[in-house]
Amino acid sequence: MSEIILNAVTFHKAIEKISKEIIEKNKNSKDLAIVGVHNKGVIIAKRIIAEIAKLAGVEESKIPFGTLDITLYRDDLDDFGSDMPVIKDTVIPFDISKKNIILVDDVLYTGRTVRAALDVLMDFGRPKSIQLAVLIDRGCRELPIEANYVGAKYPSKENVKVECSETDKEDRVIVIKGN
C-alpha cells in the first residue's frame, strides 16, 4: 500500500521552489556549480539546472554540473554482504575550488548519504561552500545535517520513493506503507 505525497504538478513546483531559492541565495551565478548524488539526485540536479537557466536567463551548459557515487564511502557496506550495489561514475569536470557547490539528492533522512557525499567532494578539493538541496526531507536525522533547500517536508520513518519520468513512468513521490 502506498500514498502519493507529491504528484507530477507538485513535484515540478518543488523543483521550481528549490531553484528560485538557490538563485536568491547565490546572486553570483558564475561561482555556482550543481552536483547530483546518484541515482535520483542526478536527475533532480539536471532539472534544477534547467529551471535555474530558465529563471536566470543563462545557458544550461554554463552551469557546471557533476555527479557523485557515494557507494565506496558508505558506512554500511558490510550490511550488503555479497549483494554489493553497482558502482557508478563520479564525474566532476570542473575545479571545485572557489565554487559554491549545490549538492542535490532526492531524499534526506538519516544524513548518512550526505556525509558520504561530503567526503567524496572533499577528495576533489575545497569549495567555497557546499549547500544541500533535497526534494524530500523525511526528518529523523542520525547526524547533524540539514538541507538549505527543501522541496517538501514529510516527517516519516516509512520508506519514501521518488519516481522520475526519466527512469519511471511518471514524476511522483510515494510513501510505501507497512515496511
Query: Which pLDDT does position 1 carry in this prediction?
Result: 77
Residue whose entry in the numeric block shows the C-alpha cell 557508478? 88
> How do 65-68 and 32-37 pair as beta strands?
parallel
Question: Per residue in 103-116, is it b (16+ CB within 10 Å) or e — as a string?
Answer: bbbbbbbebbbbbb
Tell me the mean pLDDT per 10 residues along the chain, length 179: 94 98 90 96 98 94 96 68 76 96 97 95 96 97 97 94 96 87
Strands (E) in the chain, as ranges, are: 2-6, 32-37, 65-68, 100-108, 129-137, 149-153, 159-163, 172-176
Model confidence, pTM: 0.93
Question: Domains in the chain, start-ordered, CATH in brackets?
Answer: 2-72+88-176 (3.40.50.2020)
Nearest one of 37, 38, 30 to 59, comparing CA atoms: 30
